[in-house]
Structure 1
Amino acid sequence: MKKFTLLLSCIDRPGIVATVSSFLHQAGLNILESNQFGDLKTGRFFMRVAFTTADPSSDVKQADLKEEFKEISDQFGMDWKLFDMNVNTPAVIMVSKFDHCLVDLLYRRRIGTLKMDIAAIISNHDTTREIVNRENIPFHHIPVTSDTKQDAEDKTRKIIADTGAELIILARYMQILSTDMANSYPGQIINIHHSFLPSFKGAEPYSQAYHRGVKMIGATAHYVTPNLDEGPIIAQQVVPVRHDMSVEDMIGAGQEIEQSVMAKAIRAHTEHRILLNEGKTVVFD
């Protein structure tokens, strides 16, 4: 059966849920999940509806549903998107030397637990080429220096365009994207930061945490914006720190939760469970 997900946000007012539900019912569609949130501070309403065709033989088309829903979206002034859940999200992964998040994502892709197709891997180092080649995924080595940064980003943009990637994953890609690059893909670049943001931004957060004597370390997955490590947060997780743990121990513990948090954020994004709410996110689990 065909399955779709509708994401929408608008100024909150009575009748939104009833109108959307009636539209789906009249179209012969069956609601599988429905989540709503009204933000009293901003006055905005957020909704995610997953639905399917009630009749397996029905030939409902995404384009037709979009056209029919437009009258409702205009009535309520909605920002909305309709997704075909039978189609995986095409993605590009960017990585540097640390490969633990990349390896985890490749495994999850292989067993089919994430609704994404990895179209290419881009790295500023050549160290992960062999790993990627075993998965039969195109690997692109694009070195980055202060003098070649613009050229490297131009090459990266071409790969994204050529592959049709709709998601860019920074799986411990240890380069700061330019303002122009970050602005070009709003809500499409997910970064894993090896810290429980907003604490310990920038480089070597585990070392910073060690010297502060913290009792918990964490990882944060967030959308990338031009402001370093300040984009809307999607997922976070922490692990306790003992007094006898070294920086190396903390790094090892942190890498495990980096994998988990990265996967959780990508799952939420590719299942279309995230809506942006000013500088924050609404995530319907």
Structure 2
Amino acid sequence: MDDQRLTNALKNLFGYSKFKPGQQETLKALLANQMTLAILPTGTGKSLCYQMYGWLVQRPVLIISPLISLMQDQVKELKFLGEKRVVALNSQLERMDREFALKHLANYHFVFVSPEMATQTRIVQILKQINWGLFVVDEAHCISQWGPDFRPDYLQLGKLRQELNYPLTLALTATATNEVKQDISHRLFIERQPKIICYSVNRPNIYLSVLEAKTIDQKNQILFSLLKQLRMPGLIYFNSRKATEKTANLINEKLSLTAAAYHADLTQAERFAVQQQFMQQQLEIVCATSAFGMGINTKKCTFCDPLSFAD
């Protein structure tokens, strides 16, 4: 498929007039039947690559995703785009609904599943019955012990690909050092090396600055001053879970803003509630640890400003 036909398809399927960096190159690699590792910056629409490919070739797509909230967000987006044949297999799915989905899995166009569930013996046997058009590993840096979010269960995905007879595969991540690239290629792409598509993480619209504070009170005053300049809603990142709750309470008490904390100690329901309130702009500030970064669809977060605030 040439560039013009791809652009026309992009317009028809998503309403966009041009691709973001890396999207078109990734799609062309997949359409040429090339195993692909795509390292594309956050916010460049990595999920569009497998969504569009699935619609172009009209074959089922299996997506390995590390977080329930990320799966739910992608399912919601696909349904908004009109795709009804989509399911996320995870612990949030009622048992009867999960059994129904597994029984009729061949009828779905997009199937999201966690690495823990995908590598269960029973699930593998079901997955083997389907001729997958594309096997996607989202947040692929989780494969590497050198990555920031190493997940041991990701190490089984190379074997899963083998069980599925090495389907066309797309590994996606926002950042990867040379060590991580090599680790992903070695552990996931067992039979042959992938085409690596890599774009710089440099974002000209992001400004980094460091302000030092000698006391807690001074640090809070700096924070309050920055919040007055922040385009709402906004994110404030912290190094500890305790600091997220303490600061969220402080903002609610001292400023006329609505704030909430987000961290791994919250229940799944609590995290999902904060996420949805943030996405629907019902919360003005979220004080979060890095757990928030992997649980949201950043394509929808162009309306927010981030701050990093060391504890």
Q: Calculate the TM-score normalised by the size of structure 1.
A: 0.29
- Answer 1 or 2: which has greater helix percent: 2
- Answer 1 or 2: which has greater strand percent: 1
